[in-house]
């Protein structure tokens, strides 16, 4: 992956690139390139080839791994070029030359790029649709800065204050405001957006609107199945480049299993055996804890798939390399901010570490599948719509009884200190009320499309940024064909009844995978859960966690943010009566509280 950054300042001192590059201490790069004019410095860091070029009147700086390149090359002027000389950054330059800012409507794949127009004195920065990329930016003190991670903003003394609304929102799983980050005045560029900066004016624009997808009406169900297979196979094929060695994160579910099956079929894949990596919890016979609709033993189904397909080299990790605390500390180092999913940090790190050790340069993931290829379908879309219209709907409850709802929120039993939370809510009551009462897709009548968009969050999710941070740290690209733009739009266009019938959910992918996957996997009605080992892992280091909580309590500023006594209470419960049913509370209160406490401690140290 490539790290990009840039600084605009009418009074550059020439040391900005050194400050920025020295701040990125958690990743090492073998190749560095930067360009400078009177007003800007921009740089590209990589372990491959820096994607930073000058083309005519522009400087193009990017991380780009474009898909469907044959299609866009055919639309551009490459008559005098050899195919081997057509780089991703040159395609972006040519596209910008032809279409200007509308070039984003033609580019597909993993990309985030910045173009400096020397004549217009303008930055144009764009992010892909839902790829594993990200960029932060700010405009403060007559200085515009963008970078692939948060570290440079801390180094340049621009990340001075924690964004309380964002902080609380992560803990309470609210929807954050578009583009905000954990720091005030530091923003992340959402998917499907671009920004311009000119004459000290910053403007953000959204260019992709998947909610406008029209319903596709085909003759019969088989046509939808063939359509899914066609789009899905092409999404896989375009990700596979001959210069890379690939691996895949394989669970026991339909998403990654179907991706592996199509990967094995691809004419673009020539590096057999395929390297597949699976996490298996070292606890067994616990399926009764996760309910009748879920399962724990991912390895059983993953092995069924690899044995059925053949020519797969299957690697299994058990999550023992890192403790839960080491997992939290390492993830904070990688992402530079608190994060969701603290319960999974230890095994996610181990599997990524194992992938890196095997020399994999690009990893196929299928995390977008739940809202695309393997969408379950709604049981009764009309009833979902009627519920939202009903008098007792959640949105109406907020509208009619906003004060009651906010009072409930203030006493919410989470790891956030209830007293401080009350003060924060009082200070920001209007903004919180608007966030809780917002519905970005309220104009959409098709509830099946609306439900999937609420999963994908295409206009504000930070999923790509998190994946980019992880890939950069472990030095491989993370690619998700189930988040391919064309595939997403096709899946959204498919009517709900093609995904579910009276007897079965996820009908479309199950039908498409007939003869591609073993029946035990294809027809498995359950979903895997991967966090139920967290109780055992937490118990292993309870004294260490207790000592850490007590140490965090000595910091007055941290204690004002976090109700650390609630963390201590959970430690007592785990000592006296360890119970797997307390898994969620262990993760969402104790471990999340520790993650946020460690973040605050580091933030206070820098400030």
pLDDT tens track for 363-411: 999 999 999 999 999 987 766 554 344 433 334 444 444 444 455 454 4
Q: 113-122, 156-165, 371-380, 575-584: which range is least confident on average?
A: 575-584
Residue with tokens 């901010």: 337
Distance CA 515, CA 175 (A): 41
CB 418 within 8 A of CB 457: no
Look at phi and psi of residue 81 and say left if phi exceeds 0, alpha if psi is from -120 to 50, else beta. beta
CB within 8 A of 109, min separation 6: which ones? 64, 65, 66, 67, 68, 128, 131, 238
Report the sign of the C-alpha dihedral through residues 457, 460, 466, 469, in that order: positive
Q: Is the pLDDT of residue 497 over 80?
A: yes
pLDDT for position 416:
40
Measured distance CA(299)–CA(276) in Å, rounded = 12
Q: What tokens were used for 343?
A: 């319960």
DSSP letter, residue 214: P
The answer to whether the bond into 273 is cis (omega within 30° of 0) is yes
Q: How many CB atoms lie within 10 A of CB 589?
A: 21
Considering only residues 559 and 463, tell me which one the structure prediction assigns the higher pLDDT.
463
C-alpha to C-alpha distance for 305 and 336, rounded to whole angstroms: 36
Structure tokens at 297: 């033993």
Percent of all residues in the chain with a pLDDT value above 70, rounded to a whole number: 89
Cα torsion 17, 22, 24, 29 to 10°: value is 80
- Band of pLDDT at residue 579, cut at 50, 70 and 90: confident
pLDDT digit string, tens, across residues 195-247: 999 999 999 999 999 999 999 999 999 999 999 999 999 999 999 988 788 99
Residue 449 pLDDT: 93
Across the range 83-108, mean pLDDT stands at 96
Strands 246-249 and 362-364: parallel
**Could you say which DSSP state residue 362 is in?**
E
Residues 258-316 pLDDT 10s: 999 999 999 887 777 899 999 998 876 666 667 788 888 899 999 999 999 999 999 99
**Range 545-570 average pLDDT:** 89
């Amino acid at each position: 992956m490539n790290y990009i950054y840039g600084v605009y300042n009418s009074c550059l001192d020439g040391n900005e690139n050194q400050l920025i590059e020295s701040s990125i201490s958690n990743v090492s790069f073998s190749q560095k390139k930067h360009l400078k004019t009177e007003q800007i410095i921009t740089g590209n860091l990589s372990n491959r080839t820096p994607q930073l070029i000058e083309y005519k009147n522009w400087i193009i700086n990017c991380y780009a791994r474009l898909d469907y390149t044959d299609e866009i090359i055919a639309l551009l002027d490459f008559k005098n070029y050899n195919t081997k000389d057509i780089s991703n950054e040159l395609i972006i330059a040519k596209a910008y030359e032809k279409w200007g800012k509308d070039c984003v409507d033609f580019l597909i794949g993993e990309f985030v790029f910045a173009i400096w127009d020397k004549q217009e004195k303008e930055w144009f920065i764009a992010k892909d649709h839902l790829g594993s990329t990200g960029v932060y930016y700010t405009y403060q003190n007559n200085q515009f800065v963008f970078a692939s991670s948060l570290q440079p903003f801390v180094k340049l003394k621009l990340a001075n204050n924690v964004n309380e609304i964002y902080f609380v929102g992560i803990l309470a799983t609210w929807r954050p405001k578009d583009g905000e980050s954990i720091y005030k005045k530091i923003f992340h560029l959402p998917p499907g957006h671009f920004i311009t900066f000119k004459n000290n004016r910053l403007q953000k624009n959204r260019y992709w609107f998947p909610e406008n997808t029209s319903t596709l009406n085909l003759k019969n169900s088989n046509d939808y199945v063939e359509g899914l297979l066609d789009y899905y196979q092409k999404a896989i094929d375009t990700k596979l480049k001959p210069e890379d060695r690939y691996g895949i994160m394989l669970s026991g579910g339909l998403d990654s299993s179907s991706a592996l099956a199509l990967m094995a079929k691809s004419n673009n894949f020539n590096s057999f055996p395929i390297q597949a990596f699976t996490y298996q919890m070292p606890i067994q016979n616990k399926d009764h804890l996760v309910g009748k609709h879920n399962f724990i033993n991912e390895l059983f189904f993953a092995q069924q798939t690899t044995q059925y397909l053949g020519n797969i080299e299957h690697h299994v990790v058990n999550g023992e390399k890192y403790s839960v605390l080491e997992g939290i500390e390492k993830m904070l180092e990688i992402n530079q901010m608190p994060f969701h999913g603290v319960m999974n940090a230890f095994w996610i790190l181990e599997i990524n570490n194992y992938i890196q050790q095997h020399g994999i340069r690009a990893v196929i993931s299928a995390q977008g599948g739940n809202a695309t290829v393997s969408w379950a379908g709604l049981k009764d879309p009309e009833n979902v719509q009627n519920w939202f219209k009903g008098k007792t709907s959640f949105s109406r409850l907020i509208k009619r009884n906003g004060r009651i709802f906010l009072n409930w929120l203030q006493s919410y039993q989470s790891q956030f200190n209830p007293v401080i939370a009350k003060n924060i809510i009082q200070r920001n009551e209007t903004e919180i009320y608007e966030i809780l009462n917002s519905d970005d897709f309220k104009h959409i009548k098709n509830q099946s499309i609306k439900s999937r968009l609420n999963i994908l969050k295409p206009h504000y999710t930070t999923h790509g940024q998190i994946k980019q941070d992880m890939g950069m740290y472990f030095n491989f690209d993370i690619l998700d064909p189930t988040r391919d733009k064309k595939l997403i739009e096709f899946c959204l266009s498919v009517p709900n009844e093609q995904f579910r019938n009276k007897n079965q959910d996820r009908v479309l992918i199950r039908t498409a995978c007939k003869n591609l996957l073993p029946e035990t996997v294809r027809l498995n009605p359950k979903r895997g859960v991967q966090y139920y080992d967290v109780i055992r892992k937490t118990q292993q280091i309870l004294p260490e966690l207790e000592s850490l909580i007590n140490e965090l309590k000595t910091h007055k500023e941290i204690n004002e943010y976090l109700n650390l006594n609630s963390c201590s209470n959970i430690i007592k419960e785990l000592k006296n009566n360890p119970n797997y049913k307390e898994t969620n509370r262990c993760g969402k209160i104790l471990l999340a509280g520790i993650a946020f406490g460690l973040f605050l401690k580091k933030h206070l140290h820098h400030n």
